[in-house]
A = this chain, B = another copy of it.
Amino acid sequence: MPVTARREREKQQRYEDIVDAAEIIFNENGFANTSMDEIARAAQLSRALLYVYFKDKAAIMRAVMLKAMQAMEARFANAFTAEEAGMKQIKGIGCAYYAFSVEESDYFDMLTELNTFPDPEEPDLVAEGMLRCRQNLDGMMVQALENGIKDGSLNPEHIGDPLITAYILQGSLHGVIMSTRKPKNPNVAQVDSEMLVKRAIDMMCYAMAA
């Protein structure tokens, strides 16, 4: 009689209901302009119940951010397995990052916010999930770089420590895409952002090519 198990499943379901509802509202109004009341209404629950499942609004936000990271991880994995050669894998991951930023732009923006978002007071399951996700992302990049060194498509001299290079690639690509997303600078708004990002990817690849 797995009654405990069913309870557990229902609890999990409520949790996801809340996160799914919050995701919509956050994307509509932004984190700061969203109240717990709105989330509760969207999830058809009482506001007080939200506090049973989450410490506060920021904790809900982090749960949504984890979803965003996992969505990106899936795209990275697709791009990674679609190619054999290291250079092509790197380029593929770069393009996947850009596609992600266009096709799941809300998630991309959440990952941008994550950079300035406060960490939880005490690590929880969400933080743990984020960490695993990050490690997977890093792992794929490192693997691709090592592949490229082995298969001769990348220059080991230019890459040095693959982990460091992976950080550089991720950071710079995120920065470039980010700078084209909310164009407070009217000049940037006018440029073709796809071309710009592709050029950035090409520059990095050129700098690493054998």
- A residues adjacent to B (C-beta < 8 A): 30, 32, 109, 112-116, 118-119, 130-131, 134-135, 138, 158, 160, 163-165, 167-168, 170-182, 184-188, 191, 195-196, 199-200, 203-204, 206-208
Contact = CB atoms under 8 A, between A and B. Distances in A.
18 contacts: A112-B116, A113-B116, A115-B181, A116-B182, A119-B184, A134-B184, A138-B187, A164-B195, A164-B199, A167-B176, A167-B180, A167-B196, A168-B176, A168-B203, A171-B175, A171-B200, A172-B176, A175-B175
Contacts of A200: 168, 171-172
Contacts of A172: 171-173, 175-176, 200
Nearest to A133: B185
Q: Is the interface of A mostly helix, strand, loop or mixed?
A: helix
Copies, count: 2
Given A167-B179, A168-B199, A130 B184 contact: yes
A158 B203 contact: yes
A198 B182 CA distance: 27
